[in-house]
Structure 1
Amino acid sequence: MFNARINEGAGQWIEKNLVPELFDCLEKEQLQGFHAFVREEDKQTVIIEYPKHFTSAGILPEICLEIGPLAAWTPVKDCMISSYLAEKLPNVFSEPSTVIPTVEAKRTFWEKATILHKEANRRSNFIPKRYSRHYYDLYLLAQSEIKEEAFADVELLNRVVAFKEKFYLDNSAKYEEAVPATLKLLPKEEQLEHLRADYDDMQAMMFEKAPSFDEIMQGLAQLEKEIHQLGV
């Protein structure tokens, strides 16, 4: 199977090439308490452990670099990226910012929308841990100009769905209904309690004052109506 072969090949390259290179970089910089590795159950994710000063129920005490080969890279543009640390301590870095090829946010909008659609159609009431972030992300994207950019490119939604049907097929997701007229954003009633608790656990990840869970649900209900109008 193509998916299995390409995932296995990527995992081997990450474990044998990338991780040793990262390890060498950490040693070269003489960083203490850092460790890079992959776990046996997921060799496409590089784990970087670092010195910790606090713990949180919603934040993993490690950096996860997800480097799966089955990802779409269009539309893409070059973006200038600065780290939070460089913003606070710009004089520490010889290059406080860098240009990185980045998938355009309008694709992220439709990626998030289809994630919510899949969860709304999940046969069980289970929702993966930390999944409330997707509801939060889409809510905030909808408050920006990115919503109108996505609305102006509904064909991109079709491409996102086609990619997921090809590489991440899940019959319960009902991707055939992930079109403007029938796209679902709101979770089932039985999922709300778990999502609300998950969102509460993730508050340490939110910048400034985060919207309440109820605000997010209300905003997504309105967004769902607006998307349905695109299919009229």
Structure 2
Amino acid sequence: MRLWGETSQETMPKAEEYQKKEHQLHPEIITQNQEISPGVFLISYQQKQDFIPGQVVKITLDPEIPPRIYSICSGNHEQEVRILFNIKEDGYLTPKLAASIPGDKIWVSQPYGSFLGTDKPAWWIATGTGIAPFYSMFQSGQFENKTLVHGARHLNQFYFEDDLDWSLGKNYIRCCSQEQSCDVFPGRVTDYLQTQNDLPKDQQYYLCGKALMVVEVRDLLIEKGVPYENIIAEIYF
């Protein structure tokens, strides 16, 4: 399993990373900036470089300010790259990014990273904005034979649920810890997984979300017999 300390939403990158080609920044123009849920935004710019679903980019509003890292949240055949983010009140990028308008300039890196989707059967497990890389995989056509478990505190935090529910059907499981609905599991992602006694042992499990969730789900999966090497993780801070 891979724990991405460097790919956190608000973590300062190491200085030597700027020397790598994939971390060099170039300007792009914002084409859309939509608030899709209170405090949660989907920002877009034109896609000019190929990427593999699951990859990330670095973003900043000023090349003199260290960028943050975000998963791409769009399909690899679309005309725009979309980034899903939530405002962090103590952050110095996200409040300004949320206030940006179409026509403003941002600085982004080339897509990179190894949290990559495949066409093989797999489980996708996400909390909050950790849905982003999975939605990129979904929009890129990699949703056959996938089970998606998405956890959130509130019912309005299941981003893109209409598209996902339409295509995945019973393989799309929503888990809500603080509100209830007739078609939503009442509890956290870990509560749902505890109820599953026949998890496939020969499939990969992709985890994306905050560190505590990733560690708890990893340990739970291992307890249920899932091989350690079948667990792949991306941590958001």
Q: Name the TM-score, length of structure 1 as normaliser.
A: 0.26
Larger Rg: 1
TM-score w.r.t. the length of structure 2 is 0.26
Is the strand fraction higher in 1 or 2? Answer: 2
Which structure carries more relative contact order (alpha carbon 8 Å, separation 6+)?
2
Q: Of Structure 1 and Structure 2, which has the larger fraction of its residues in helix?
A: 1
